[in-house]
Amino acid sequence: MKRVGASSYYLFNEKYFSEILNTSEYEARLLTVYYNDIAIASTIIAFTNGIIQAHLVGARAEYLHHSPTKFLADCITQIGREKGMKYYNLGGGLGFKNDKLFDWKCAFSNLHLDFKTWRYIANPEMYQKLLQDKGIEENAEVDFFPLYRYA
């Protein structure tokens, strides 16, 4: 995450990963690619309702020339076929933007679906108070909802 300039929000702790991998809501796996005895790429995948969902694909910079994340994607599609999955959702770009991450993901398929979220504020006064309590300006250049949970 540091290599790609991700914010500190994406520097998750061990508890975060443990909860994702040890839930009864879906099946999840941690997949890792090794070069000799060195872990060079990893991702978490979840299986639910015929869909494989990728989460946090990462690789060591010094091994990128081996394309370990492409190898992971290929392995995941094989696992998906064996499990009868219909789709492999790589997600979008950072903050749902059409960025380099999105471009990399688009190279795997020409099937691209629109992503939309419904962002409804039920209590505008309370929402404003929560933003003020956190010291967040509502017009911040951050695409996160609800915004008070960003900080």
* The pLDDT of residue 28 is above 80: yes
pLDDT bracket for residue 94 (50, 70, 90)? low
pLDDT bracket for residue 40 (50, 70, 90)? very high
Task: Encode 35-86 in three state secondary structure.
Answer: ECCEEEEEEEEEEECCEEEEEEEEECHHHHHHCHHHHHHHHHHHHHHHCCCC
* The pLDDT of residue 101 is above 80: no
- Position with higher pLDDT, 131 vs 111: 131
CA dihedral of 96, 98, 101, 105, whole degrees rounded to 10: 90
**Checking DSSP bridges between strand 38-48 and strand 27-35, what pairing results, if any?**
antiparallel
Kindly report which listed range (10-14, 55-59, 100-104, 120-124) carries the lowest average pLDDT score. 100-104
- Position with higher pLDDT, 41 vs 135: 41
Q: What is the largest CA-CA distance in the chain?
A: 57
Q: Give the pLDDT score at 146.
A: 87
Task: Over range 25-31, report the average pLDDT.
Answer: 95
Q: Give the pLDDT score at 114.
A: 74
Tens-place pLDDT, residues 52-88: 988 888 899 999 999 998 899 899 999 999 999 999 8
What sign for the dihedral angle of Cα 148, 44, 4, 116?
Answer: negative
* The pLDDT of residue 107 is above 70: no
Report which secondary-structure segment, H or E, holds 21.
helix 14-21
pTM: 0.67
* The pLDDT of residue 96 is above 70: no
* The pLDDT of residue 108 is above 90: no
